[in-house]
């Protein structure tokens, strides 16, 4: 070790190279730690966005189960919603519009006006260079199946039928209610 230290003191270029190497290693470790924290957060938020995108129908089913489960004497409720289409995604654009007007006067006294409109659309990218998308059309509900475990005396079939029709704004023919005693 002493020989190595002597060699570094005698050869300044070698000492300079070792110092630069150590500095680069330290900087790369710092950057790796910082970027690893950001990349973990981005991947989690990206996964959360995917879950939100795919769970529109699932969220409706769970909300309906919660609401219908509050009706008296109902032990359990299961809801399944049928859809015709999946949600359609559309990219988000950064739109820039600029208008330019030039008025030119000719030598004979006439004036000419030139209007120019420039429109630029640029797709917005997220942190992980993926295209940012938004919904513009939700799936159309084509049918609902409700399975209820009920032990009461009321006409629960009519109550559930009207509740589902009101909540989802669909035809009565598209609703199927199964009551289990």
**Domain definitions of the chain by residue range:** 2-53, 58-87+138-180, 89-123
CB 104 within 8 A of CB 112: yes
The total of other beta-carbon atoms located within 10 Å of residue 127's CB is 13
The total of other beta-carbon atoms located within 10 Å of residue 146's CB is 23
pLDDT by 10s per residue, the chain, length 181: 677 677 767 777 777 788 888 888 888 888 777 655 555 444 444 455 444 435 778 888 999 999 999 988 899 999 999 888 666 677 788 888 889 988 888 888 888 888 889 988 888 887 787 777 776 567 788 899 999 999 888 888 999 999 999 989 899 999 999 999 8
**Beta-bridge partner residues of 180:** 149
**Beta-bridge partner residues of 77:** 148
CB 94 within 8 A of CB 101: no
CB 66 within 8 A of CB 96: no
Tens of pLDDT, residues 45-67: 445 544 443 577 888 899 999 99
Radius of gyration for the alpha carbons in the chain, expressed in angstroms and rounded: 33
Residue 30 pLDDT:
83
Query: What kind and span of H or E run contains 172?
Result: none
- Whether domain 58-87+138-180 has CATH 3.30.300.30: the reply is yes
* pTM > 0.85: no
Tens of pLDDT, residues 17-49: 888 888 888 888 887 776 555 554 444 444 554
Starting at the edge strand found earlier in the chain, the sheet holding 74-83 runs: 74-83, 141-150, 175-180
**How far is Cα 32 from Cα 21, in angstroms, rounded to an integer?**
16
């Amino acid at each position: 070790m002493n020989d190595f230290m002597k060699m570094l003191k005698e050869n300044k270029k070698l000492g300079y190279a070792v110092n630069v190497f150590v500095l680069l290693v330290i900087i790369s470790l710092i950057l790796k730690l910082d970027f690893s924290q950001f990349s973990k957060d981005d991947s989690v938020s990206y996964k959360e966005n995917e879950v939100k995108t795919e769970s529109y129908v699932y969220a409706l089913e769970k909300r309906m189960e919660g609401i219908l489960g509050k009706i008296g004497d109902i032990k359990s409720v299961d809801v399944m919603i049928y859809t015709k289409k999946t949600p359609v995604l559309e990219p988000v654009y950064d739109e820039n519009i600029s208008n330019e007007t030039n008025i030119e006067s000719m030598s004979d006294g006439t004036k000419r006006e030139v209007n120019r409109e420039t429109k630029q659309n640029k797709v917005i990218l997220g942190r992980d260079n993926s295209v940012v998308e938004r919904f513009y059309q939700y799936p159309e509900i084509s049918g609902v199946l409700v399975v209820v475990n009920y032990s009461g005396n009321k006409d629960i079939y009519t109550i559930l039928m009207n509740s589902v029709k009101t909540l989802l704004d669909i035809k009565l023919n598209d609703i199927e209610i199964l009551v289990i005693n």
